Amino acid sequence: MPRPRKLRTAVLPLALAGLLPLTAAPALAQDKIDCIFPFWFGFAPVFVAQEEGYFDSEGLEVTTAFDNDRANVLPAMANGSIDCTMRTIGESMSRPRQADTTGTIIGTIDVSVGADGVVASGDVKSVEDLIGKTMAGEINHPGTTLVQHALSQVGKSIKDVNLQLIATDDSVAVFEDPSIAAVATWEPMMSTIVKNSGRDGTHLLLTSADYEGLITDVIIVRTEDYQENPEKYAKFLRGIYRAIDLYNADPDKFIAISAPFFDTPDAEMKEALAGVKYTSYEESADYLPSDGSDGKLKEVFDAFNDINLTLELQDAPLSYQPYVDGTLLNGLFDGHDR
């Protein structure tokens, strides 16, 4: 999922020691969730739910901090220092996660619908044209995984492409090297490269809009605490989906509330969110398993088992359930305000 250039690599490991809480609901709340996630606008519903009192009305205190490094987040969840995190499902499945790693997906929060992708030079007309050429990107970048997924549809693999590893923040400069046929990046850098590159024929080769749902951010909670206190996490989900309802009804108000938490102008946040779709309660319920159905996320999960194994980001395929659990979404708002 895309992150604005100046924000994407922001990592605050001290947050894991409780030194950098960003927000907290009133101390009188009966239940508490500590949540750490990457610095990304897609997770803004958490801040809106706090500011609009949705968590408070549930008797829930939520503390938040930013940290993009899973090497920090997964151990913190394992030792009980934090209770939840959020990120793309593909990233969540990758190493160091193993079959017995704590963490259960209980909902979706947003889907990339064009904000991630690959920019290519004029001579690259299709994904197959990348074969034998050099593409730059991060190994677990959404654009890289999109290329692998697209190539797999035609019986090829990203192993047929010379992948040059870079930091995504450097993609604008890297693409000006004529030896680079394509670069995996995200907005606003995708548009910047297409508009300003000195190379003829620069264009978008592939974006997340081509495979809607593949780049999906999910809500992951500490399995042991979730099993002991499921209603606490139902409160969290209700707050999130009420905030998404506000975005769908009044996006300008939503952005005005949440943009200050990212120290970002409203207009910049609005532009970045143009390639993102927040998933409503009903949409999240469609994604997760329930009533004997696997849900739409199963297809994405299976795709990433293949993608991550090819990219050597997983040691072995993971099982969909019980890692993905849609139980809380069944009748989530029955008897509760929405």
Distances (CA, A) of 298 to 4, 155, 161, 330: 29, 22, 28, 17
In a shared domain, residues 139 and 91? no
d(CA 181, CA 161): 10
In a shared domain, residues 85 and 230? yes
Closest CA to 22 of 41, 9, 5, 39: 39
Decide if 334 is inside a domain: no
In a shared domain, residues 37 and 182? no
In a shared domain, residues 219 and 325? yes
pLDDT at 149: 95
| Among candidate residues 186, 211, 236, the one where a domain is terminated | 211
Decide if 203 is inside a domain: yes
Please give the backbone phi and psi of residue 112, each rounded to the nearest 5 degrees, phi first. Answer: -75, 125
Q: Angle at CA 261, nearest 5°, toward 256 and 266?
A: 35
Residues 6+ apart with CB under 8 A from 26: 56, 61
| Among candidate residues 188, 211, 234, the one where a domain is terminated | 211
Decide if 8 is inside a domain: no
In a shared domain, residues 155 and 220? no
Task: Report yes or no: 1 and 138 within 8 Å, Cβ to Cβ.
Answer: no
| Among candidate residues 153, 176, 211, the one where a domain is terminated | 211
pLDDT at 19: 40
In three-state secondary structure terms, 276 is strand
d(CA 49, CA 338): 12
pLDDT at 69: 86
Decide if 91 is inside a domain: yes
In a shared domain, residues 95 and 65? yes
Decide if 4 is inside a domain: no
Decide if 7 is inside a domain: no
In a shared domain, residues 61 and 90? yes
In a shared domain, residues 47 and 184? no
Decide if 6 is inside a domain: no
In a shared domain, residues 28 and 122? no
Averaged over successive runs of 10 residues, the pLDDT of the chain (338 residues) comes to: 42 43 53 95 97 97 92 93 96 92 97 95 97 95 95 95 95 97 93 94 97 96 97 98 98 98 94 94 96 94 96 95 97 96
d(CA 142, CA 184): 8
pLDDT at 168: 92
In a shared domain, residues 204 and 223? no
In three-state secondary structure terms, 321 is coil
pLDDT at 23: 54
In a shared domain, residues 128 and 196? yes
Residues 6+ apart with CB under 8 A from 109: 42, 43, 45, 86, 217, 218, 219, 240, 244, 278, 279, 284
What is the per-residue DSSP string for 159-205?
Answer: GGSEEEE--GGGHHHHHTSTT--EEEEETTHHHHHHHH-SSTT-EEE
Q: How many domains does the chain have?
A: 2
pLDDT at 201: 97
* CATH code, domain with 41: 3.40.190.10
d(CA 101, CA 239): 27
pTM of the model: 0.87
Decide if 310 is inside a domain: yes
DSSP 8-state assignment for residue 216: E
In a shared domain, residues 234 and 139? no
pLDDT at 29: 53
pLDDT at 1: 56
Domain interval for residue 95: 13-111+214-329
Structure tokens at 253: 């108000």
pLDDT at 188: 83
